[in-house]
Amino acid sequence: MNNIKLIGPFKQIIPMTGLSLKGPITDDQLTVWEDAGILVENGYIHSIGKYIDVFPKAEELKAEIIKLEGNHTCLPGFIDSHTHICFGGTRANDYALRNAGKSYLEIAKTGGGIWDTVTQTRKASQEELVKGIVKRAKQHLKNGVTTIEVKSGYGLSIAEELKMLRAIKDANASISADLVPTCLAAHMLPKDYPGSASEYLEEISSELFPILKEQRLTNRIDAFIEESAFSKNEIAPYFQEAKGMGFDITVHADQFSTSGSKIAVEFGAISADHLEASTQKEITLLAKSNVIATALPGASLGLGCNFTPARKILDAGGALAIASDHNPGSAPMGDLLTQAAILGTFEKLTNAEVLAGITFRAAAALNLSDRGQLAKGFLADLSIFHTHDHKEILYNQGAFKPCVIWKNGGVVFDKHKAP
């Protein structure tokens, strides 16, 4: 069966190719293909070029011609490299308390916060968690996000963490977007755990890690390094065990206090996420490393706190990804494009830097090398907008959504055909 397609003509294609992984990017560095087409073969990009040049090749290959009418602009499918969309219940009460003046840590100490979601997630069945993940992931997909990282971390016991990770695996099998699972069993010390933080982490690493490998539930280990979670000294043996078993490391770092970014660098983490509290010392440390710094503007909006110092990270030579942190407590919005556009406004990021943060730099934060750009051999994951100019996308601050989404070379959402 011939599985070759030509899509176009696009008024603009922004392939996000030829750009550096680290440091600033100016808008004039963006490659812009005009009046162009994309040739797709077996779910991957075969070639991109001027439509009049690609069309004869498509005819030669007997490709299916998918003709676009009107002005369309195409970008790589967006990548959300940090979410918590596997959970039970709601934290609307937390949100109301924060707006009434209570801090995140104060709410956590009085029974709200992460532990509230842990309680509700433990009550949910695996099937109920799957339904919740699928519902949220489908909304992300409609907003152009074709790859979504999803963390556990609301189970906080071996059995409950396994329930969450199995739910993520089941959800991944039933939706078009790719879900990338991450084990966040080190989210906080469970309030019902009878031992110390070090004992809990040792139990998780010795008993849960082997199951994760055996059942191929994840290859990523995350930990929250913070006053309300784990210290750098407590987490070090945990990360040593994870690294020794071949897991990729990522870190919730510098959200309210610093130390997490240093641990991320010391253990060669793929990414350090949050960084709202990072000072120039941490920024310089990250910039000199290979760790991807991930800004989570959704958490800043949800908590009413400072944004990640994205401009300073880029100017120091760091690699900046942008993710939604979609979770029931601090970041309930879950709209990556809106949050990235707002971060760009407050941190004075170029359009190129914002788009890089939700495409190829976000792919690097997940250690994925087959997406985030539109180039030969990359997945044909496309976010298509009904506009003649890509600048309109961020200009509308998230209100302008894609009209068509492609995943692995096929249409998975069409605004004009959606029910």
For the stretch 153-207, pLDDT in tens is 999 999 999 999 999 999 999 999 999 999 999 999 999 999 999 999 999 999 9
- The answer, yes or no, to whether residue 354 has pLDDT greater than 50, is yes
* Burial zone of 66 (CB within 10 Å; 0-12 exposed, 13-18 middle, 19+ buried): middle
* Per-residue pLDDT at 198: 97
H-type alpha helices, 50-100: 51-60, 92-99
What tokens does 209 get?
Answer: 């890690």
CB 249: neighbour CB atoms within 10 A?
21
Percentage of the chain surpassing pLDDT 70? 99
Sign for the pseudo-dihedral over CA of 46, 47, 51, 53: negative
How far apart CA 335 and CA 55 sit, in angstroms, is 36
H-helix or E-strand containing 67? strand 64-67
- The answer, yes or no, to whether residue 389 has pLDDT greater than 90, is yes
How far apart CA 359 and CA 343 sit, in angstroms, is 15
- The answer, yes or no, to whether residue 4 has pLDDT greater than 90, is yes
The Cβ-side half-sphere exposure at 394, using a 13 Å CA radius, reads 22
* Per-residue pLDDT at 419: 58
Tens digits of per-residue pLDDT, 100-119?
998 877 887 777 888 999 99
Among residues 395, 380, 393, the alpha carbon closest in space to that of 7 is found at 380
Looking at every residue in the chain, the average pLDDT score rounds to 96
Among residues 81, 21, 135, the alpha carbon closest in space to that of 336 is found at 81
pLDDT-derived band at 273, boundaries 50, 70, 90: very high
Identify whether the C-beta of residue 273 lies closer than 8 Å to the C-beta of residue 263: no
pLDDT-derived band at 405, boundaries 50, 70, 90: very high
* Per-residue pLDDT at 227: 84
The Cβ-side half-sphere exposure at 277, using a 13 Å CA radius, reads 14
CB 215: neighbour CB atoms within 10 A?
12
99: Cβ contacts below 8 Å, ≥ 6 apart: 304
CB 267: neighbour CB atoms within 10 A?
18
Tens digits of per-residue pLDDT, 206-249?
999 999 999 999 999 999 999 889 999 999 999 999 999 999 99
* Mean pLDDT lowest among 107-111, 283-287, 297-301, 357-361: 107-111
How is 181-240 classified by DSSP, letter by letter?
EEEEEESS--TT--S-HHHHHHHIIIIIHHHHHHTT--SEEEEEBSTTSB-HHHHHHHHH
**Domains of the chain and CATH, by start:** 4-76+372-414 (2.30.40.10), 79-365 (3.20.20.140)
Among residues 208, 226, 260, the alpha carbon closest in space to that of 114 is found at 226
How far apart CA 59 and CA 374 sit, in angstroms, is 21
Tens digits of per-residue pLDDT, 375-387?
999 999 999 999 9
Which amino acid type is present at position 197? A
How far apart CA 342 and CA 330 sit, in angstroms, is 17
Measure CA 357 to chain center: 10
Which amino acid type is present at position 390? H
CA distances from 214 to 182, 200, 208, 218, 365 (A): 15, 21, 10, 10, 24
pLDDT-derived band at 1, boundaries 50, 70, 90: very low
How far apart CA 41 and CA 279 sit, in angstroms, is 47
What tokens does 146 get?
Answer: 């074709």
376: Cβ contacts below 8 Å, ≥ 6 apart: 45, 46, 47, 48
63 — alpha (psi -120 to 50), left (phi > 0) or beta? beta
